[in-house]
Amino acid sequence: MSSIILSAANICKSYHEMNEKITVLKEVNLTVHSGEMIAIIGASGSGKSTLLHILGGLASPDSGVVLVENQNMATMQERQRCHFRNRYLGFIYQFHHLLPEFSILDNVCMPLWIGGVSSEHAKNQALDMLERVGLTARRKHRMAELSGGERQRAAIARALVTGPRCILADELTGNLDHATALNIVSLMKELTRETQAGMILVTHDLSLAAMCHQRYTLRSGELLIVE
C-alpha cells in the first residue's frame, strides 16, 4: 500500500494590491502518495506557482498546514528547513537553472555536496542518476553544449539525486517541443514509479496532464479534481 508523502490541509493565501485584497488560494486540500504523479492545471495567474512554492516550503500560507513525510516545515528554523528541503524535496523549473561554468556531472553533484556528501560518493550517485536519464555520455559537457531536452534531463537528474520523497515541477516542459515534452514526462513517470517518490507537475498542457495518475485544476482559488 502506498504511503502519504505530502499532505496540504486548508491552505489559504491572499495578497494586497492598492488596498485591495486578492485571494489566490481558498481552503486548498491535497494529498500525494508514494509513486503517484499529480498534475495541476489552470490559467496563467491562477496561483499554481504560488501553491507549489507553499507546498515546497518556499513560501508561507496565510493559514493551513503542509506536511512532508509528516513533518511541518513551518515549525522549523530556517537552517533546518533548508536542510529538510534539500533532503526530502526535489525542484524542477521551466528554466533548468544549471550552472553554466560547471560540467553536467558537477551540476548533478551540487545538491549532494551542499548536503555534506563526500566527493567520491556524490560522484557515484550522480553518475548513477545520469545513467538513468540517459546522459552518461554527456557528463563532462557543459550546459551550452546540450539540447533543450538534455538540459531538462540534467535538471531532473539533479532534482532526483538526493533521493527526495516528493518532486515539485513547475512547467518543466515549457521550453520544449511537444514530442520532447512527452518524452520528459514519460521519463518522470517511470522514475517516480521506480523510486516511489511522489510528484506534483504544474502544467498548462492538457495532454501532459493526462499522463498523470490524478489531475486537478486551480480555478478562482479552489483546487478541483478533474474527472
Q: Comparing C-alpha atoms, which of 21, 8, 114 is closest to residue 60?
A: 8
Which pLDDT score is estimated for 218? 92
Higher pLDDT, 217 or 185: 217
Report DSSP state, residue 47. S
Q: How far, in Å, CA of 121 to CA of 105, rounded?
A: 13
Burial of 116 (C-beta count, 10 Å sphere; 0-12/13-18/19+): exposed
What are the start-end ranges of the E strands in the chain? Answer: 4-17, 20-33, 37-41, 63-68, 89-93, 166-170, 198-202, 214-219, 222-225
- The CATH number of the domain holding residue 214 is 3.40.50.300
pLDDT tens, position by position, 172-196: 777 778 887 888 888 888 888 888 9
Which pLDDT score is estimated for 95? 67
**Helix, strand, coil in percent for the chain, rounding step 5:** 40, 30, 30
Which pLDDT score is estimated for 96? 66
pLDDT tens, position by position, 80-98: 998 898 889 988 876 667 8
Number of domains in the chain: 1
Domain that holds residue 193: 4-225
Q: Comparing C-alpha atoms, which of 134, 152, 131, 132 is closest to residue 143?
A: 152
Which pLDDT score is estimated for 4? 94
